Amino acid sequence: MKISEVQFGSLLTYTPRGNQTEHYKSRTVMRNLKNDEVLPSGNLMSVDIARTIQSNLRNYPFSDYFNEKTMLVPTPTSSLIKKDGLWVPQRITSALANAGLGINEECLMRETPLPRSSTSLASDRPKAIQHYNSMRVKESLLEPQEIILVDDVITRGATAMGAVNRLAEAFPKAKIRVFAIMRTISNSAKFSKIIEPCIGTISLVETDSFRDP
């Protein structure tokens, strides 16, 4: 893998720990996102989030991530996608595209299933190189100048780093960045609020991935 650092943006945060009211609320939002639940508005969460981004884009630090020509690539799930199975990143890219924020292109596929990072011990979570080796890029007719790899939740960024390197091989002229709806704040003492737009970096140091912030 040649890319060792990539920029990312995110809109929301949650913490898996902590017992304050806002901590619990953040976990509820995370579960709603992971299941793409229908919200009180009557819309799927992916749809409401896309509309929120569209309406407020100029105010976000990642405002230059999205335009009608940006190629939006959903991050593959850790398992092999089944017909009619839930693929939340794909729902998000579809909703973003419908909001005029890019072109949905499902060109990155998982060929070999990996353990889910969210249910694995930190020491057992797949590394970026494992994600890289388990993915392939399908042929695309598009020749994008900009690609946004889209995910629902980002923790350390190993999946993203593996995926970005795969995409960079297939689209060497494209500028590639990552966008996750929500980022994990493992230390609840550092958790501030659920809606906290940011941009930052994902770095690969030897075999480990690190996200800042």
pLDDT in tens, 1-33: 999 999 999 999 999 999 999 999 999 999 999
pLDDT over 80 at 178, yes or no: yes
pLDDT over 70 at 112, yes or no: yes
User: Could you give the residue ranges of the DSSP H alpha helices within 36-116?
Assistant: 45-56, 88-98
pLDDT in tens, 25-72: 999 999 999 999 999 999 999 999 999 999 999 999 999 999 999 999
pLDDT over 70 at 120, yes or no: no
Going from N- to C-terminal start, the domains of the chain cover 5-115+139-212
Q: What's the distance, Cα to Cα, between the start and end of the chain in Å? A: 23
Provide the CA 76 distance to its chain's centre, in angstroms. Answer: 10
pTM: 0.95
CB of 144 closer than 8 Å to CB of 170 = no
**What was the pLDDT predicted at 20?**
97
pLDDT in tens, 147-162: 999 999 999 999 999 9
